[in-house]
Amino acid sequence: METEEAVSFHPVMAAGIVSFRGNSPPIYDVLIMYGGTDLLVGYTFTPYDSLIYGTGNLVGNNVTFGVIGYFGFEVMTSPKMSFFTEAGGGFKTLSGDDTNPYVIGVSWLGSGFSYRSGLRFYLK
């Protein structure tokens, strides 16, 4: 249930992630394609609000979970360096008291799309 009430708070998530990743063999010793998915399970709480304002955990008892996936390319520019570019996205939510405006507010935070690129250095 959504309400018209505005809330301001600072949630923190403590979670564990199980990752599954795979990659292609090097193509012409230069290009590697890879992809993966992360399964996330954790707990969301509000320690800063509790410490500063004495509110306790505004989110209440919950289980936070999500699924994140990505796909990328890595180009080996030398034996010890590569350039990579990857994109992905995911969904994160939590189960809890769905009448709590803080649960409603935090349930979508962390979902979306991402893009990264950069250099990787290897110590071979």
Residue 86 has pLDDT above 70, yes or no: yes
| 106 three-class SS | helix
Q: Kindly tell me if the per-residue pLDDT of 120 is higher than 90.
A: yes
Tokens matching residue 27: 């193509």
Predicted local confidence at residue 104, as pLDDT: 83
Instruction: For residues 81-105, give the mean pLDDT.
Output: 90
Q: Using alpha carbons, select from 53, 39, 67 the residue that is nearest to residue 10.
A: 53
- For residues 98 and 116, the model is more confident at 116
Separation CA 61–CA 94 (nearest Å): 10
Cα gap 115→108, rounded to integer Å: 19
What pLDDT score was predicted for residue 7? Answer: 64
Residues whose CB falls within 8 Å of the CB of residue 73, separated by 6 or more in sequence, listed in order: 31, 32, 33, 34, 84, 85, 86
**Angle value at C-alpha 45, between 91 and 114, nearest 5 degrees:** 30
Residues 88/118, Cβ–Cβ less than 8 Å: no
Q: Which of these ranges, 14-18, 66-70, 108-112, has the smallest mean pLDDT? A: 108-112
Where are the chain's structural domains? 12-121
Instruction: Indicate whether 1 pLDDT > 60.
Output: no
- Which of the given ranges, 8-12, 45-49, 68-72, has the highest pLDDT on average? 68-72
Q: Which residue type sits at 35?
A: G
Which pLDDT tens digit goes with each residue over 2-23?
Answer: 566 666 788 999 999 999 999 9
What's the predicted TM-score (pTM) here? 0.73
CB 20 within 8 A of CB 116: no
pLDDT at 124 over 80: no
Task: State the pLDDT at residue 50.
Answer: 85
Structure tokens of 62? 């919950």
CA dihedral sign, ordered 95, 101, 104, 107: negative
